[in-house]
Structure 1
Amino acid sequence: MTSHFEQEYQSLFTEELAVAGGKQVLNDPYLHRLQRRHFYLFDVLPLFGTLAALALLAWRPPGVPELLACFAMWVVSGLGISAGYHRLFAHRSWQTTRGTQTLLAIAGAMAGQGSVISWVAMHRRHHERGDRDGDMHSPNLHGPGKRDKLRGFLHAHFTWMIAHPYPNVLRYAPDLLRERHLVSVGRRYYTWVALGFVLPALACALLERSWGGLLSGFLWGGMVRMFMLAQGIWSLNSFCHLIGRRCFVTRDRSRNIGWMAPLIFGESWHHNHHAFPGSASFGLAWYRIDPGFWFIRLLGALGLAWNIKVPSREQIDARTVTHAASWSADSQ
């Protein structure tokens, strides 16, 4: 679901993208080097940071400040991705003020999953080519066998981010390129990622008045938080295109995994989202856990969100199919 390349529209690539014109994707060795650098920094390094935090448990187990920092930063960066990057910027399923847009773009950047315009371009490409040639993180393009499915799972969950064709943002995100405040946020992407580590580290250091608090805040509020959030978001690419339930006929092989919804802000109603990509609600029903949508509704109650798009009951019923029919359609 996510892109891990951050410099799509700035400096060296402004002219290259213009020359690319109508090209759908760009393949360039320099782009791939940047992608690999981002992969090592924000996908591999948090894994080792999490292992370090676990190794230090006997010496310095996390206290209340560390756990609160981890949870708070997980919520902030997670809502930045779910309500901001995904539902607001990629699908325009609701509207808000420029100030709220800026804050959500910064919060999403703290997740370390790419700048907002890059992420949106990648996600729109995924919807356009879902589980077909051109979908860079589908787990279903490696063959029908068990070993093929395993390779597909590993690719979709992790290894696709090492290097991949890069969607031309002039084609996939021209609306965001016209928003100067979003371009400005994107250009400072690394600053926001760093802030996501500095804030919990300083908070824990001040609360505990120790250098140990600085270290544990950095590890638990930064590394562990980023690693946990990434596992949830990557699961949309892997698990949610391999296992789970289907209620609608879609061109892709997306699935719903309801039990994961509280862990990834309602994003695991992934099949619902592919059936109704313009909906701010992924659960499509009040009784389904969808924290990303609840947050948008809260903003609406505060007067900070409007034009919140949700399909009617009639629209949902008209597209609903039986379980057997959905499997039959999916196998075609």
Structure 2
Amino acid sequence: MTISNLRTERKKFRLARAAFTLVELLVVIAIIGILVALLLPAVQAAREAARRSQCTNNLKQIGLANQNFLSAKGHFPTGSQADNERDRKIVHQWTVYLMPYMESNAIYEQYDWTVGDRVTNFAAINGPLFKQKIESFLCPSDSAGFVGNWGWAHSNYVGCFAADGSWVEPGNWEKDPLTSNTFYNPAAASGTLALFNFNLTRKPRHVTDGLSNTYAFSEVIAGTDGELDFRGTWSVDHGVAYTHRIGPNSTEPDLDAHACGITPRPEAPCKRSPTFGTAYWAARSHHPGGVTAARVDGSVHFVSDSIATRVWQGLGSINGGEVSLD
């Protein structure tokens, strides 16, 4: 064999050794798959941590806006104000009252207070505003959509309307006598109140349990996109409320006058309430293990799903007489 031929053979050998065999390729693919499987949960956890941080910041903004409203007006905003109280017409929500303190002046300045929500021609006048999503009312862990038929935008933050009862205080709406029935509304027996309700304004002196011991706002999983599921709808009275009657992310269903559409989201079960005023909705979120909520003093906390119902209800009341519960 000549030197030239020898060199050629050696080159061919080196080229052959440089290529992967099928077994080696499969081993490499398997190793990469294992590494991806190991890293993916960490990546997802990091992303969820970032989303939860954004959600916390949103609630801090809402809590601070609530404090600034108090400083400017001398009282907290009304949970839901109806200019025609008996028939629940021309209704304004706490979300609108806080907009000037949350850098949402553009929507606030276009809002027509003579129409509000639910009067005859409100959809034509304020409807275009109600269809707008407000970033500071959205938690990135959820995918908020729109209410079917109406197109109103969903959101993810709600105000506390009751500690242990339905969302209408006992006797606070004469058209619904069941709100004073202790079976349908346990608050009729306990006498506990929350920071928000219909046509009522609270002052710090009303929060006898202490501003730092009482929750004012929490997360909610937005209603089913495209259905008559108003949960979390920032422009509608029964969309801006939640209660502490059942615990965070409870497997027990919410009660809603519309039964939350035809197909409620599995993580937010729901069934029809006996009447409009006897409805109630739990605090819910997509964060693993609990929900983020803001107290009346503006502080934000993460509340575990395993919190005792008694403690959770105590933290929802402004006048339960509890000392610090957590």
* TM-score using structure 1 length: 0.26
Higher share in helix = 1
Name which structure has the greater RCO, CA cutoff 8 Å, separation 6+: 1
Structure whose alpha-carbon radius of gyration is higher: 2
Higher share in strand = 2
